[in-house]
Every structure is written in structure tokens, then in C-alpha cells.
Chains A and B, each alone.
Chain A
Amino acid sequence: MTHTLSQNLSGSGPDLSYRPFLRRNIGSGVLSLIAAIFAVIAVLPLVLVLGYVIVQGGSKISLALLTQLPPPPGLEDGGIANAIVGTLVVTAIAGLIAIPVGVGGGVFLAEYSRSGWFAQFIRFGTNVLAGVPSIIAGVFIYGTIVTSRILFGNAYSAVAGGMALAVLMLPTVIKTTDEGLKLVPDDLRRAALGVGASRFVTIIRITLPAAFTPIATGVVLAVARAAGETAPLIFTALFSPFWSDLLTPEGIFSPIATLSVMIYNFAIEPYEFHNELAWAASFVLVVMILALNLFSRWLARFAAK
């Protein structure tokens, strides 16, 4: 001990410079390299999938493709227009159900009962529901809505598909509303209540608007995820090679085509043109979903400013 101390004091201390070829430094460098390789492998699938979707699908996009109906098997003339409309319709139905219910539930959790047993139970239930596989949402709606023909005697329908997607969207919307409202400072609530506003007015006029951006970000992400879901739609919304008559109620109470189910159906068919339509549908779907994702990112950044 005294030896090293005197050594340091005399100015001829140990060499403290970084020695890259020390065994442990080489080991650290090798591990960094492995981590870098893992990161490259993790990014690779996105590049490859996007690349193929753009090359195989993007190259087939034409006005005819975006405005015509899919052809019968074997024929080579047509498009994916009804599926584009169908995806928008089914996702809109899901949003109309899941967003009000989810925001309402989130308001309850964040504004009325932060730590009551019921709120804890609902939070737990939300997490559990978020982990339910998407195919189970389809089985559930099939078992309750489709087989019972409860929707005015209709079995498979756009509404049933939208309900299945709503089951999947609900946990995300509740969670983002809950978390978004929790970020609103309590001072705002107290100020509103202090000047005599009721709970209802405080929530509607003060806290919900203050939490608008985080809620909107989460909702947009939930919509994007729902738009790409296939499994809940296969035996609820089914598929249709025709236009849905959306001007009458019949349209949303009958089977409807969606991009995701179209990709599934056409990918496993042996007809080449149908396979090509599946790629084109993938391109349209991926563009829609990535656009929504980037939009939600922009929303979040917009809020941060």
C-alpha cells in the first residue's frame, strides 16, 4: 500500500492510457461487433419485406387496379378497388365502436378512480385483453354475432368484422387515454373545479383537450394495427368479390372484401394473376399503415414542441 502510494506521488504512476489490445478490451470490442451484427439482422427483414412489397406490388399499381373489381380465378383483368373500400369501411366501423368506449373507459380510470379496486381490476383486464390472440376475437364474434344472426338476420357482415377489430382496438385506446390523462397536471383540474366547473365540464373542456395529442397518437396507432388485421375477419367479415352497396344498410350487413383477407385468399391460390393482386394489395395496405404510423409520430413530435 505504502509502496504504490509513494510510487504515485513520485510521478511514475501506472500507465493509465487506453490499451486497445488488452484482453478485456478486445473482448468488449468483439461483443460490440456481435451486437452490431444482431442489429443489422434485426433491420434486415424490414428492408427485405418493404423492398419486395414495393418492387412486386408497387410496380403493378395502375388506375385500373385501383378502380376495378377482382377477376374470377384464371382471368387476368381487374383490380382491388372493393377491398380498399372494404378495409376503410370495416376499420371505420371498428373505430366508431372502440374509440368512444375506449376513451370513456380511460376517462373512468384516470379521472374517477385511479386506485380503486374496480379500476385496478379493469386495468388488469385491459392488459389481459391486449394479450388475447387476434384469432380468438374472430372466434368470439363468430360465436356470438355471426352464428346467432343477431344483426337483423345477417350472418357474416362488415359490422361483425368491425366488432371483431374493435375488440382488438379497445385495450390500446383505453391504455393511451388513461396514460394521456394521467400526464395532465392536477393543477388544471383543481383550477377548473375551483372556479366552479362540474366534473363533467372539467373533463370535457379542460383535461380531455389537454390530453388530446397523446390520445390521438395512440388511437391512430390502434387504427393502423386494426387495418392490417386478418385473422379476426376471415370468418366474420368473410370476403366478397363484388362491390358492397354502401348506400343502403344492406352493404354493411353483408360480407365485405378487405385488403388483408384478399391478400390471404389470393396468396394461397394457384392463379398467377391473383398472386400479383395479393402483392398489389399488400403495397396499398402497407402504404396506408406506414402512413398512419408516421402520422402518429408526427402528432407526438408536434405535441412535444
Chain B
Amino acid sequence: MSDPDSRYLLRSRPPAEKLVDISFRNLAIAMASVVAIVLFSILVVVFQGSLDSMARYGWQFLVTSDWNPVDDQYGAGAAIYGTLITSLLALMIAVPLGVGTAIFITENIIPKRIRDVIGLMVELLAAIPSVVLGLWAIFVMEPFIRPGLELLYQLFNWFPLFSTPPMGPGTIPAVLILVVMILPIITAISRDCLNQVPPQLRQAAYGVGTTRWGAIINVILPAAISGIIGGVMLALGRAMGETMAVTMIIGNSNNFSVSLLAPGNTIAAMLANQFGEADGSQVSSLMYAAFVLIVLTLAVNIFAQWIVKRLSLKY
């Protein structure tokens, strides 16, 4: 500092540069806040929209299944039941399939090249739009499985779950198409979790003389279980909110039926179907149903995030 060559003098930034710097920072903060604003507005808009219906029906709305725009009487019990039963059944089928596939493509049973192709195909399945799956379900899958459903009805019509004749669209086809939709999520997340298990664990298991599946069941799956459960919960959230494919194949019946062969409804399908043409208290009731759907999916998603954080094993 004592012998300042003027070129090397420390100078402070010109105000214009400072201004740009600070404005850019504030712009970034503003854009990050958009997420919070959108999320908050979604909750407010849907909650406010449903206030009328909440005041009118209260908790009864959740358990009565009388949805009748003509008499202006609404209860979303059937749709809520449909949402839960379709997503849970889909999960029951998709979890073994997805985790099994993930194990198959992370183990060295067959050459890596083929496994990579299977992995790629499952990922591409996730890219197919749900409306295209719905179209396929209407014209290809449902006619194909109908004889099977007929048989199911003839053999088991004494059992409440299969007590109505299949009429085309129904709960079972919707469950099957949901399986197709959530399978890629479960497979992809399980695969990532299995790949992250440290190789030393497997080597140690083999070292003490276990078989391949002894190692998978006793060592590798337990190490990856937190991530897999998180993935399954995310898939459950996706299944509950899935709209198009389900709307196209579930039959959109407002009547409650315990039978899986009968047409049913889900909250998302009901929204897709009726929201455009609804007015008055029907809009409010649909908003109430949408609010229930948001609460369900948010709960599942937050639980998924929590479980991943909580259960993850530290090595």
C-alpha cells in the first residue's frame, strides 16, 4: 500500500455492478419463493372453494356416497373408497413386480447389456403419457381381459368383491392400468437404492458362504429398504392422484359398489369428468373432494420423505 502503482489500487465495485449483483440475488430469491407461493395458493384456492360444501356436509361428505347433481346432494364416499382401493390394490401387485425387476437388473444373473436394455425399457414406460395408456386400456386391454373377468364372476360371484357381472369399464381394469403406471417408479427407485448398497456388504455375505438369494434377502434388501419404502410411498401418492388412464377405464359410476368388477370412481376421475361442466354447489363439492385428494397425497408424500430420512442406514 505504501508504494501504490495506480493500476493495482484496490477499488470498490462500481455501484452499477453492485446493483446488478444484488438485484440478481433478489430475483433468485423471488423465483425460489414462487414454489412456496404456488403451493400455498393451491391449498388456499382449493380450501376456499370447498368451504360452502364443508359447511353444508361436514364429515358426512367423506362417508356418504350419494352424488346427485339433480337433487343437489353430494357425498364423496364412493370416490374416496375408489381412490384408496385402486391405489392399494395396484401397490400390492406393483411392489413385488417392481422390486423383483429391480433385483433382476441389479444382480449379475444375466449379462449387463441385456439388463441395461430392460432398465431402459422400464424407464421409457414411465414416459408414455397416461392418456395413451388409457386409450390402450379401453381398446386393447379391457376386451382382452374381459373373458377372464367373466370367469371370475361365474366362479366367485358368491364373494362380495366379485359379485357383479363385468360390464367393460370397472375397478379391476383401472387397477391393472395403475400397476403399469407405477411400476416404473418403484423399479427405478428400488434399482437406485440397490445400486447404492456398498459392495462390501455383499462380499461379506458371500464370504461367509450364503447363496445369491441368501445375500439378497438377508443383507442387500434390508440395507436398501428405507429407500425402497420411500419409493413405494411416492408411487402410492402417484397412484392416488393418477387421473387420465383411470378416468377412461374405471367407468365413472357415482354409485358405491363393493364389487371390483363393477364400474367405480376415484376423486381424480370425478374431477376430470365433472369439473368442466359443474356449477354452483357441485363446484364446491368437487373442490372439497379435491381438498381431500390433496390432503391424502400430501400426507403420503411427506411421510415418504420423512421415512427416507429416518430409516436410511448409515454406513
A residues with CB within 8 A of B: 24-25, 27-28, 31-32, 34-36, 38-39, 41-43, 45-50, 52-53, 56, 100-105, 107-109, 111-112, 118-119, 121-122, 124-129, 131-140, 142-144, 167, 170-171, 174, 198-200, 203, 224-225, 227-231, 234-235, 238, 260, 263-264, 267-268, 275, 278-279, 282, 285-286, 289-290, 293
- Please determine whether B241 and A140 come into contact, CB atoms closer than 8 angstroms: no
A34 CB contact (under 8 Å) in B100, B129, B248, B272: B100
Known contacts: A43-B118, A133-B240. The answer to whether A105 contacts B34 by CB under 8 A is yes
Which of B24, B109, B244 lies in contact with A230, CB distance below 8 A?
B244
Interface centre among B122, B127, B183 (most CB of A within 10 A): B127
Give the shortest distance, in Å, between A145 (CB) and chain B (any CB). 10
Distance between B288 CB and nearest chain A CB, rounded to angstroms:
11
Residues 113-145 of chain B: 1 if any A CB is under 8 Å from the residue's CB, otherwise 0?
A: 000001001101101111111111011100000
A24 to B276, CA, bound (A): 59
State which of B20, B35, B293 has its C-beta within 8 Å of the C-beta of A200: B20
Complexed CA–CA distance, A187 and B104 (Å)? 40
- By the criterion CB–CB under 8 Å, are A48 and B140 in contact? yes
Is the CB–CB distance between B131 and A263 below 8 Å? yes
Quick check: A101 and B124 within 8 Å, CB to CB?
Answer: no
Cβ distance B19 to chain A, nearest Cβ, rounded Å? 10
Chain B 30-62 residues near chain A, CB threshold 8 A: 30-36, 38-39, 41-42, 45-46, 49
- Of the candidates B45, B121, B216, the one whose C-beta lies within 8 Å of that of A143 is B45
- How far does the Cβ of A213 sit from chain B's closest Cβ, in whole Å? 19
Judging by beta carbons under 8 Å apart, are B101 and A174 in contact?
no
Q: Tell which of B21, B35, B41, B124 has the most Cβ of chain A within 10 Å.
A: B35
Nearest CB on B from A247, distance (A): 28
> Counting chain A CB atoms within 10 Å of each CB, which of B31, B45, B211 scores highest?
B31
Q: Mark B204-237, 1 if CB is under 8 A from A, else 0.
A: 0000000111101000000000000000001001
Binds A, one of B148-156, B256-264, B296-304: B296-304
Determine if B35 and A122 form an interchain contact, defined as CB atoms under 8 angstroms apart: yes
Chain B residues within an 8 Å CB radius of A174: 32, 35
Residues of B in contact with A, size category: 35 or more
Question: Within 8 Å CB of B238, what residues of A?
Answer: 131
Secondary structure at the A interface, as helix, strand, loop or mixed, is helix
**Cβ contacts A to B, 10 pairs, < 8 Å:** A32-B212, A104-B28, A122-B35, A127-B301, A167-B42, A234-B272, A264-B134, A279-B135, A290-B124, A293-B127
A267 to B141, CA, bound (A): 14
> Which of B20, B248, B275 is the one whose CB lies under 8 Å from A139?
B275
A258 to B42, CA, bound (A): 24
How long is the Cα–Cα vector from A41 to B45 in the complex, in angstroms?
Answer: 42
Question: Given A105-B28, A124-B305, do A28 and B214 touch, yes or no (CB 8 Å)?
Answer: yes
Once bound together, how far apart are the Cα atoms of A71 and B255, in whole Å? 35
> When chains A and B are docked, how far (Å) is the Cα of A177 from the Cα of B85?
37
Question: A139 touching B25 by the CB < 8 A rule?
Answer: no
Of the residues B32, B98, B135, B293, contact of A42 by C-beta under 8 Å: B98
Chain B, Cβ-Cβ closest to A227: B129
- A225: nearest residue on chain B (CB-CB)? B127
From A39, A108, A143, B49 is in contact (CB under 8 Å) with A143
Note all chain A residues with C-beta closer than 8 A to B174.
none
Residue of B nearest to A98 (CB): B34
What's the minimum C-beta distance from A217 to chain B, rounded to whole angstroms? 13
A108 with B211: in contact, given A133-B243, A282-B132 (CB under 8 Å)? no
Cα distance A199–B20 when bound, in Å?
10
Q: Tell me which of A49, A125, A136 contacts B136 (CB under 8 A).
A: A49
Q: Which residues of chain A come closer than 8 Å to B135, judged between CB atoms? A: 263, 267, 278-279, 282
CB contact between B234 and one of A25, A131, A260, A290 (< 8 Å): that residue: A131
Closest to A260 in B: B131
* Contact of B180 with A by CB under 8 A: yes
Q: Contact: A231 with B272, CB < 8 Å?
A: yes
Assembled-state Cα–Cα distance A198/B18 (Å): 8
Most chain B CB within 10 A, of A25, A38, A104, A238, is at A38
CB–CB A228/B132 < 8 A: yes
Contact B104 A35 (CB under 8 A): yes
A109-B32, A289-B127 known; A198+B20 contact, CB < 8 A: yes
> Chain A residues with Cβ under 8 A from B88's Cβ?
none
Give the nearest-CB partner of B128 in chain A: A49
Determine how close the nearest CB of chain B comes to the CB of A131; give it in whole angstroms: 4
Contact B121 A46 (CB under 8 A): yes
A229 & B129 in contact (Cβ 8 Å cutoff): yes
Contact between A234 and B276, CB atoms less than 8 A apart: yes
Q: Is the CB of A42 within 8 A of B187?
A: yes
Please state if A52 and B136 are interface contacts (CB–CB under 8 Å). yes
Q: How far apart are the CA atoms of A136 and B244 in the complex, in Å?
A: 13
Q: Chain A: which residue is nearest B98 at the CB level?
A: A42
- On chain B, the residues within 8 Å of A132 by CB distance are 39, 42, 241, 294, 297-298
Provided the pairs A133-B293, A200-B21, A235-B276 are in contact, do residues A42 and B183 lie with their beta carbons within 8 angstroms?
yes
Q: Which residues of A contact B298 (CB under 8 A)?
A: 128, 131-132
A132 to B46, CA, bound (A): 13
Chain A's nearest CB lies how many Å from the CB of B250?
A: 12
CB proximity to A under 8 Å, residues B262-290: 268, 271-272, 275-276, 286-287, 290
Q: Which 7 A-B pairs have the closest CB atoms?
A: A133-B241, A228-B129, A104-B31, A38-B100, A131-B301, A108-B28, A105-B32
- Bound form: Cα–Cα A22–B187 in Å: 31
Residues of chain A lying within 8 A (CB to CB) of residue B17: 198
CB distance from A250 to the nearest CB of B (A): 22
